[in-house]
Amino acid sequence: MRATIVAVAVFAAVALSGVAEAVDIGKALADAFNPVKEGFDAFGDEVVAAFNPRKSFKLHTLRNREAVCLDGSPAGYWFREGWGDGKDKWLVHLEGGGACYSMEDCYERSKTVLGSSKRWPTEQTRGEPIFSTDSAKNPDFYNWNAVFVGYCDGSVYTGNASEPAVVDGKSLYFRGKSILGSTMAQLNHRQGMLGASDIVWSGSSAGAVATLYHADWLGKRLGPNVETFRAIPFSGLVFSDGPNFQGENELSKMLQWAYKAMDLRFDSPCAKDHAGEEYKCGYPETAYRYIKTPVFLSNSVYDAWTVQNADNISKKTVRANQMNDVIPYLNGQARGTWDNITETKTWSKAGNGAFITSCMTHVGGLKNPGWDGVIVDGRNLRDSISLWMQGEPSRTTRPCQYTRAPPHSCNPTCPPSELQL
């Protein structure tokens, strides 16, 4: 019904006023029908793509038959061409979406868009501010070539199993590493990234973890003209090797399972340093210690996903007589995360940066107000990244700690907590 209304309005405008007015009406209708939030519906995508071509990302499936999703369908990415002084600059972003940690879990995931490309849209727009084409909102990347890599392997882009696993008669493929390599090759040779001068490789959540894992490996596959190659993981420090609120270390067991079942491959010197326990390279804080690529961390020490999943804190898992222990525990975890990253050589290395908050959000930096409204040390994330891109020092200081009394949050510019206790 909505599509019919749009079509009638646009054709009427063409007849009465000409193409320019029709385009304006089309844009207005797109704004009216399209809610401004992450993930536009298919109708909105088609309207925006038709009248705002620079906002549209087009799907490209990978030609390498080994680079497949969990269900065996071809993996791929969405690409939007850059323009102006951004035509030789590239922003490549890895989609996030957790992981699967048992064969049954992976089987169920293979039926979704995080495990199969069968229902991926051929075109889409992205609502994250880092993809905005407005130079005021996104001064560094607004006109760059932009790539959004679909996440469908369930292994944090790290699986390398040569043979599929079989669950209930269905083959499951763990080919994340092949997806990354094939994406890089196809971008180089088919989309023109081989001639790039500047590349920023970023990711959110699981995509941020993969950025920490593989930035150095990807950096060895650049074109000859690349002057700068940088990494920006958004919320990649999501779990560490330690007990949760209940004193258990369930994620360590899951990581060990994934390392064997998915044949996870870590190529940094970390694997040599942890011979016999290579799975430990899967801890993001460990990966951060080894990364050589210039890196800018965007993270919260009270990450909402971490609190609910790694720390196992929620209304369902915390008893009434334990509530008074939650804030001290979270403050301790926050201090531990801060100490673990700032005591590394990576943190203080010239060319690296960070924007660390106390907001209880996940991937908050790719949303508003996390992009330009949350203030730490007098500056927002957008401007902090700009400073870092210019080669200036850009690291926040130790974030504030929660108070025992509600509302607990210590930074008034943070949005409401994404996790209600």
What tens digit of pLDDT does each residue of 162-182 get?
A: 999 999 999 999 999 999 999
The reported pLDDT for the residue numbered 31 is 44
For the record, the structure tokens of 55 come out as 């906002």
3-state secondary structure (DSSP) of residue 216: helix
The reported pLDDT for the residue numbered 123 is 97
**From CA 27, how far away is CA 129, in angstroms rounded?**
19
Per the domain annotation, does 41 fall within a domain?
no
Read off the pLDDT of each residue in 401-412 and give the average, rounded to a whole number: 94
Per-residue pLDDT for 26 more than 90? no
- What pTM did the predictor assign? 0.88
What is the β-pairing status of strands 198-204 and 89-94?
parallel
Per the domain annotation, does 169 fall within a domain?
yes
Read off the pLDDT of each residue in 239-249 and give the average, rounded to a whole number: 96
pLDDT tens column, 310-335: 999 999 999 999 999 999 999 999 99
Per the domain annotation, does 154 fall within a domain?
yes
Number of domains in the chain: 1
Per the domain annotation, does 3 fall within a domain?
no
| 8 A C-beta contact, residue 119 and residue 227 | no
Read off the pLDDT of each residue in 83-98 and give the average, rounded to a whole number: 98
Beta strands (DSSP E) in 96-174 are: 123-124, 145-149, 165-167, 170-172
Q: Whole-number mean pLDDT of the chain?
A: 90
DSSP 278: G
Per the domain annotation, does 399 fall within a domain?
no
Distances (CA, A) of 31 to 6, 39, 56, 241, 367: 12, 14, 15, 45, 19
Residue 52: band (very low, low, confident or very high) from pLDDT cuts 50, 70, 90: low
| 8 A C-beta contact, residue 353 and residue 393 | yes
Of 88, 78, 83, 82, whose CA–CA distance to 123 is shortest? 78
**From CA 394, how far away is CA 375, in angstroms rounded?**
13
Alpha helices in 234-380 (DSSP H): 250-261, 270-273, 284-290, 304-305, 323-342, 345-348
**From CA 150, how far away is CA 117, in angstroms rounded?**
8
Per the domain annotation, does 239 fall within a domain?
yes
* CB proximity list for 276: less than 8 A, separation 6 or greater: none
Burial class (CB in 10 A: 0-12, 13-18, 19+), 420: exposed
Per the domain annotation, does 75 fall within a domain?
yes
Residue 77: band (very low, low, confident or very high) from pLDDT cuts 50, 70, 90: very high
Q: Which range of residues forms the domain containing residue 96?
A: 53-389
| 8 A C-beta contact, residue 388 and residue 381 | no
Per-residue pLDDT for 189 more than 60? yes
Output the domain CATH number for residue 289: 3.40.50
Per-residue pLDDT for 147 more than 60? yes
* CB proximity list for 151: less than 8 A, separation 6 or greater: 94, 95, 96, 97, 114, 157, 206, 207
Residue 54: band (very low, low, confident or very high) from pLDDT cuts 50, 70, 90: confident
| 8 A C-beta contact, residue 256 and residue 282 | no
Per the domain annotation, does 291 fall within a domain?
yes
